[in-house]
Amino acid sequence: MWAVWGKQNRWFEYVGFWGCPIVFLSGLVVLKSLRLGSFLGCVGFGLMAFYLGPAIVNTIHGIVVGKLVLTPLQIFEFVLVAVMPMLTLVRLIWNLTRVS
């Protein structure tokens, strides 16, 4: 993330950054234990939400304040960026309830 957006300068950006390696680790752990891997994935996605949430809010604020109009393709991309992580989190939670 530092290569794309630069060094973090707020506490929640550091929290979100550490969610990324946890999600990567959970992908490896899930090969051995679905329950533990899903739990780690939930924790990692929760931490990454500290980075994704403000990014989405700032994007919406920029659209409203700047009176920007998105093309249908841009709207589709924005919805994917906002919705796909939430669907992944729902799937991880579903794995936890199903395995339990």
Residue 6 has pLDDT above 70, yes or no: no
pLDDT of residue 1: 52
- Please state the domain count of the chain: 1
pLDDT, tens digit, for every residue of 28-78? 999 999 889 989 999 998 898 888 888 888 888 888 898 888 889 988 988
**pLDDT mean over 3-11:** 68
Cα 13 off chain centre by: 12
Cβ atoms within 10 A of the Cβ of 56, count? Answer: 14
Nearest to 16 by CA among 42, 41, 53, 58: 53
Domain carrying residue 64: 2-99
How sure is the predictor about 26, in pLDDT bands with cuts at 50, 70 and 90?
very high
∠ Cα 88 47 68 (to 5°)? 75
Nearest to 70 by CA among 84, 60, 80, 56: 60
